[in-house]
Structure 1
Amino acid sequence: MDEDTFINSSDIVDFGSYLKTIDWYDPWLILLLISHVVIISITAMTRKHSLFQMIIFFVMLLAVFMSEKINEAAKHSRLFSRQQIDNDGLFISTVFSMPILLNCMLMIVSWLYTATDVMSTMRTAQLKAKNNRNSINNNNKIDHKKQQ
């Protein structure tokens, strides 16, 4: 991207037009997008390992929390394209924080689904145990009546 194509965040009309201004072929940006895909894949593969997912979850939220400091560091680094790093943090929020937060939301949905599944399994087991107790009690009453 040339300096002419720099877009000020106050000039943005809609999010789609902003996305069109991003140079998606920057090598570090491609690496960042690949890392998001890898993290989402790890999240999907480890959905049955809750402790590991909790660690990933809190590390990702810490990264989002630190995104303002990452943005400040990126403004002073030669590694990043100057046109993409803005003072308001829109770029870092778009390509860094938003995918991480979406991944965190997917983790929460997965945890809620698992919790619902466990609760329904427990409730089914409780009802079966209650039915077994009732049938045993009924059988004992019938046997007791036969003996009399």
Structure 2
Amino acid sequence: MHPGQIDVNEITGYWTFLLSIDWKDPWLIGLILVHIMTTTTALLSRNNSNFQVFLFLVLLLAVYFTESINEYAAQNWSSFSKQQYFDSNGLFISTVFSIPILLNCMLLIGTWLYSSTQLMVTLKTAQLKERVRRERQNKADSESTAKHVKAE
């Protein structure tokens, strides 16, 4: 077995797979920081929907190209990593790259749904206030008309 490779027989489940990853590898730390920055950006830009749509599309493009990224990383792993993690099934890249990105996409969608709900509540409240104002105005108009009719 080549140095820097994990014996496949040692991995019996997803948890052991996660434990077998060297999380102190500098590029993995950088990737985790990128995911944290992406999540922070998604949360801080909640009032800028145009930017969020752009971020959402960029994230989906990154997930779309995951297979190509995995192939490239599998061929060039020794230039940036201590171990060869990039298998043909894509378990590793899905775990450390695609899943966090898709969770960020879900966060963006959740933010949009929450904003839409708040907007609908605001709109319905304004509609109800307008209806009450119109009813009061109509009632006041009909009372003033009734007073004018009595006075004549």
Same fold (TM over 0.5): yes
Alignment of 1:1-148 (within 5 A): 2-3=3-4, 5-7=6-8, 12-77=11-76, 78=78, 79-148=80-149
Runs of 4 or more consecutive aligned structure 1 residues displaced over 4 Å after TM superposition = none
Once residues 21 and 82 of structure 1 are traced to their aligned partners in structure 2, the CA distance between those partners, rounded to angstroms, is 10
The code of the aligned residue for 1:134 comes to E
Say if 2:67 and 2:90, in contact at 8 Å, map to a contact too: yes
Say if 1:84 and 1:91, in contact at 8 Å, map to a contact too: yes
The code of the aligned residue for 1:41 comes to T
Q: Structure 1: where are the runs of 5+ without partners? A: none
The code of the aligned residue for 1:147 comes to H
Kindly state the Cα deviation for residue 36 of structure 1 after the two structures are TM-superposed: 0.5
Once residues 69 and 18 of structure 2 are traced to their aligned partners in structure 1, the CA distance between those partners, rounded to angstroms, is 20
Once residues 110 and 13 of structure 1 are traced to their aligned partners in structure 2, the CA distance between those partners, rounded to angstroms, is 37
The code of the aligned residue for 1:68 comes to E
Q: Secondary structure at the match of 2:28?
A: helix
Say if 1:24 and 1:30, in contact at 8 Å, map to a contact too: yes
Identity %: 43
Say if 1:64 and 1:100, in contact at 8 Å, map to a contact too: yes
Once residues 60 and 97 of structure 2 are traced to their aligned partners in structure 1, the CA distance between those partners, rounded to angstroms, is 11
Kindly state the Cα deviation for residue 3 of structure 1 after the two structures are TM-superposed: 4.4
Residue deviations 1:72-126 (CA, integer Å, cap 9, x gap): 0001113234431111100000000000000110110010000000000000000
Once residues 35 and 82 of structure 1 are traced to their aligned partners in structure 2, the CA distance between those partners, rounded to angstroms, is 21
Say if 2:42 and 2:52, in contact at 8 Å, map to a contact too: yes
Q: Secondary structure at the match of 2:87?
A: coil
Once residues 58 and 112 of structure 2 are traced to their aligned partners in structure 1, the CA distance between those partners, rounded to angstroms, is 17
Kindly state the Cα deviation for residue 136 of structure 1 after the two structures are TM-superposed: 0.3
Of structures 1 and 2, the larger Rg is shown by 2
Q: Structure 2: where are the runs of 5+ without partners? A: none
Once residues 94 and 31 of structure 2 are traced to their aligned partners in structure 1, the CA distance between those partners, rounded to angstroms, is 13
Residue deviations 1:36-75 (CA, integer Å, cap 9, x gap): 1111111111110000010010000000000000000001
